[in-house]
Amino acid sequence: MIGFLLRKTLYDLWDNMFRIVALNLGFVACTAIPIFLPQLAAKFFNSFALEIALTAFGILLCSVYLAAASFSIKSISDYGSFGFGDFFKSFKSAWPAGLIMGFFVFLLFLIVTIVMPFYLGIESPGGLILAAIVFWTTIFALLSFQFYFTVYSRLGSNIIKALRKCMIISLDNSGLSLFLLLYGILVLALSLIFAFMFPGPAGVLLYLDEALRLRLLKYDWLEANPGADRRKIPWDELLIEEREKTGTRSFKNFIFPWKD
């Protein structure tokens, strides 16, 4: 399943390169607010609270943008496409989910910059224990809520249910969740070469949506086969139609599709 996931994601990224770049360009523009505005404000106002407020606003804006992007990305993994009119329409459905995730990311920012250093600075066993608890809670949150935007856009617009489903999916697919998190970090690191234009955050959203879409085939099969061994999912059987739709490509066809 992992091999097919990476292949399909690569094909979809390549076939929709300009849309992915455009989505990333918008995200990079949004990140200018939490990165540069606090620094600019610090030059004119000696207010730590203002810097924190501007950072929070920028994070919320970026999160809402990614939530809207996830609705557009979904159409790509469903073998379709999207127009930018569709992207702007998705803001109406996406902004509540974006705000919630924005608050979570801002909380994570405070934990990394303030809470963890505080506990580690106590220099006592109690401080180390509290720091360890906060650290592993943060790791679990990252493993779970990496699915948040894709779960929200694909499985319904109820925020509480989306959060709960994220944790259930992560716990039930711990190996996949860890792989996706590490792969996402690798993709973002490689995106530095292209200034986050490609694959970038939109590319990460795409492969997370592809992964969730394929993983849902497992739950459909389990529902149709009660009592089946959850450790023996017949992926070759479940992915027959997906593989037919995706196909295979030679290197020549991949780079020069119009020559075949």
The whole-number pLDDT of residue 124 equals 83
Q: Is 109 a domain residue?
A: yes
Going residue by residue through the chain, which has 260 residues, state the pLDDT in tens, using 9 for 90 and above: 889 999 999 999 999 999 999 999 999 989 888 878 777 777 777 777 887 888 888 889 999 999 999 999 999 999 988 887 888 888 888 899 999 999 998 898 888 888 888 888 887 888 888 889 999 999 999 999 999 999 999 987 788 999 999 999 999 999 999 999 999 999 999 999 998 999 999 999 999 999 999 999 999 999 999 888 888 899 999 999 999 999 887 766 767 665 55
Q: How many CB atoms lie within 10 A of CB 122?
A: 12
Residue 218 makes CB contacts below 8 A (sequence gap 6+) with 233, 238
The whole-number pLDDT of residue 230 equals 85
The whole-number pLDDT of residue 120 equals 85
The whole-number pLDDT of residue 178 equals 95
The whole-number pLDDT of residue 228 equals 86
Q: How many CB atoms lie within 10 A of CB 13?
A: 20
The whole-number pLDDT of residue 260 equals 55
Contact 205, 70 (CB under 8 A): yes
Angle, in degrees to the nearest 10, between helices 148-155 and 48-77: 50
Q: Is 260 a domain residue?
A: no
Q: How many CB atoms lie within 10 A of CB 171?
A: 12
Q: In angstroms, how far apart are the furthest CA atoms of the chain? A: 67
The whole-number pLDDT of residue 259 equals 55
Q: Is 183 a domain residue?
A: yes
Three-state DSSP state, 196: coil
Q: Is 40 a domain residue?
A: yes
Segments forming the whole domain that contains residue 83: 2-255
Q: Per the structure, how many domains does the chain have?
A: 1
